């Protein structure tokens, strides 16, 4: 069985191990697991301690996320060199995407994960499913062995595909859209997962080998006739891809009707994969005009990004639950919550993009359940079932309730390059997309 729960098992416990909130939360979880009710006074003390920790963390983040990244690196025991992480596995190349298949889906009748393939002939939603890290980290919380937790990851992946498909994708149940998972794994996941998150703070240009492999597996057949290894990585000789690019119009056709969905650390993997697409097309000598169009022909949706992520030329929607402690631990959520409250909107573009119609970088802010959730009767304490506010179920339900499927459907039906802002405006004008803050029904 698993070891005793410690503060280091909590989302914020490694960076802030001395925080009263982390100590009190461990005590509360231990009581709940033992079947002992946590008193209202204890819950009130926990909420006060949370507010104090949030203030302490935001003060550091407001000085700069690079500084916060260096603090996190030191707390995790990672070495840095020239202001960036320096860890031994960061350039390793071997099969990191697990369970023996490139893609999986949820068998709706059997309710289990099954291998599948992806065709460019119909719309596709590819979910960057939770890897081994999620399973290992939650073994102690769930009182199960690490081996059982890894096996349970299959069920988690299946659920992720189903939740994304059933809540957000029109035509999923009818089979009109393929919703699949691309599984990824890490070398030493409980270390490498936070390292990937922190490295994004310190060196956003870094591309993890798992992201590169995912990109070549996904995008390779869409843009080229090229040799590939069994892992999905493209074959290179003398530094050049062995193959040739597809015709320009075929590349754009293949990238149209595609959405990548990242969850948790998968948000980093998905956006890094999207950016590697341009690198691949450069290697294949695809023209700049086609590369620019290709970057805007698909959409990336990130659910619970655990580090700040910039869109670049890619259409990106980042979704943040203000009660998500895993997101709070690595991202800076306060500015987004302030903007939602000041604008009265749960969905808005980056402040630097003056014209929302042409904007490609958008953020959705949800007020979904977390460790402590306000109710008419006081705060409700439920850290484990909400996964500290990081549950994909609550993300998917919150987005369903604001009508995000209207954006997803329009994106999957669109042919060629587009601006996310225009699709959002169309969905909002139709009345299908509800963007008012606060959102009725978002606290589930």
Q: What is the per-residue pLDDT across 334-359, written as a single tens digit (0 to 9) for each?
A: 999 999 999 899 999 977 666 777 88
pLDDT value at 2 more than 50: no
What CA–CA distances, in Å, run from 19 to 14, 26, 271, 312? 10, 11, 32, 36
208-222 pLDDT tens trace? 888 888 899 899 999
278-326 pLDDT tens trace? 999 999 999 999 999 999 999 999 999 999 998 888 999 999 999 999 9
Confidence of residue 131 (pLDDT cuts 50, 70, 90): low
374-402 pLDDT tens trace? 999 899 999 988 889 999 999 999 999 99
Contact 79, 86 (CB under 8 A): yes
pLDDT value at 96 more than 50: no
253-263 residues labelled b (16+ CB within 10 A) or e (exposed): bbbbbbbbbbb
Strand partners, 180: 126
230-261 pLDDT tens trace? 878 899 999 899 999 999 999 999 999 999 99
pLDDT value at 139 more than 60: no
Q: Is the dihedral of CA 245, 250, 256, 258 positive or negative?
A: negative
pLDDT value at 417 more than 90: yes
Contact 273, 265 (CB under 8 A): no
The angle, 0 to 180 degrees and rounded to 10, between the axes of the packed helices 266-283 and 189-202 is 60
Taking the whole predicted model, whether its pTM rises above 0.75 is answered as yes
Confidence of residue 189 (pLDDT cuts 50, 70, 90): low
Alpha-carbon gap, residue 389 to 412, rounded angstroms: 29
pLDDT at position 89 is 57
Contact 323, 369 (CB under 8 A): yes
Average pLDDT over residues 422-431: 96
46-60 pLDDT tens trace? 999 999 999 999 999
Average pLDDT over residues 108-135: 80
Look over the chain and give the mean of its residue pLDDT values, rounded to a whole number. Answer: 87
pLDDT at position 231 is 75
Structure tokens that stand for 54 in this block: 């949030």
Contact 207, 273 (CB under 8 A): no
Average pLDDT over residues 18-47: 95
pLDDT at position 151 is 64
Structure tokens that stand for 319 in this block: 């979704």
Average pLDDT over residues 68-90: 84
| Whether the bond into 438 is cis, omega within 30 of 0 | yes
Classify burial at 417, counting beta carbons within 10 Å of its beta carbon; exposed 0-12, middle 13-18, buried 19 or more.
middle
Confidence of residue 135 (pLDDT cuts 50, 70, 90): low
Contact 226, 244 (CB under 8 A): yes
Q: Which of 97-111, 174-188, 193-207, 271-285 has the lowest mean pLDDT?
A: 97-111
H or E element, residue 129: strand 124-129
pLDDT at position 280 is 97
Q: Which of 80-89, 125-134, 414-423 has the lowest mean pLDDT?
A: 125-134
pLDDT at position 88 is 60
Q: Which of 143-147, 151-155, 197-201 has the lowest mean pLDDT?
A: 143-147
pLDDT at position 253 is 97
pLDDT at position 441 is 39
Domain boundaries, the chain: 91-429
Average pLDDT over residues 56-73: 96
pLDDT value at 437 more than 90: no
Average pLDDT over residues 92-106: 58
């Amino acid at each position: 069985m698993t070891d005793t729960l410690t503060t280091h098992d909590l989302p914020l416990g490694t960076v802030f191990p001395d925080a009263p909130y982390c100590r009190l939360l461990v005590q509360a979880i231990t009581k709940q697991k033992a079947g002992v009710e946590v008193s209202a006074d204890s819950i009130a003390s926990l909420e006060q301690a949370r507010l104090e920790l949030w203030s302490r963390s935001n003060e550091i983040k407001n000085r700069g996320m690079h500084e916060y990244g260096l603090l996190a690196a030191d707390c995790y025991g990672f070495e840095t060199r020239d202001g960036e992480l320096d860890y031994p596995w960061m350039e390793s190349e071997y099969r990191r995407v697990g369970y023996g298949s490139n893609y999986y889906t949820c068998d709706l009748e059997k309710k289990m994960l099954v291998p599948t393939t992806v065709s460019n002939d119909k719309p596709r939603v590819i979910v960057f499913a939770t890897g081994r890290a999620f399973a290992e980290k939650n073994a102690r919380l769930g009182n199960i062995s690490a081996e059982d937790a890894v096996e349970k990851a299959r069920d988690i992946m299946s659920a992720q595909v189903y939740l994304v498909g059933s809540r957000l994708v029109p035509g999923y149940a009818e089979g009109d859209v393929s919703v699949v998972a691309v599984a990824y794994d890490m070398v030493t996941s409980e270390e490498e997962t936070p390292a990937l998150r922190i490295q994004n703070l310190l060196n956003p240009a870094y591309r993890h080998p798992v992201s590169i492999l995912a990109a070549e597996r996904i995008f390779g057949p869409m843009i080229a006739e090229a040799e590939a290894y069994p892992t999905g990585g493209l074959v290179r000789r003398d530094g050049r891809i062995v193959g040739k690019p597809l015709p320009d119009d075929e590349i754009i056709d293949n990238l149209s009707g595609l959405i990548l969905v990242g969850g948790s650390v998968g948000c980093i993997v998905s956006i890094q994969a999207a950016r590697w697409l341009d690198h691949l097309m450069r290697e294949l000598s695809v023209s700049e005009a086609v590369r620019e169009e290709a970057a805007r022909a698909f959409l990336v949706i990130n659910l619970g990004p655990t580090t700040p992520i910039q869109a670049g030329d890619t259409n990106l929607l980042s979704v943040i639950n203000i009660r998500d402690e895993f997101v709070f631990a690595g991202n800076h959520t306060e500015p987004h919550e302030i903007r939602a409250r000041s604008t009265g909107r749960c969905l808005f573009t980056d402040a630097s993009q003056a014209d929302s119609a042409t904007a490609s970088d958008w953020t959705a802010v949800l007020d979904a359940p977390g460790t402590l959730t306000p109710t008419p009767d006081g705060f409700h304490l439920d850290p484990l079932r909400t996964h500290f506010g990081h549950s994909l179920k609550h993300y998917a339900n919150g987005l369903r309730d604001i009508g995000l499927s209207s954006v997803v459907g329009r994106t999957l039906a669109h042919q060629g390059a587009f601006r996310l802002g225009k699709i959002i405006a169309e969905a909002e004008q139709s009345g299908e997309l509800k963007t008012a803050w606060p959102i009725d029904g978002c606290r589930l």
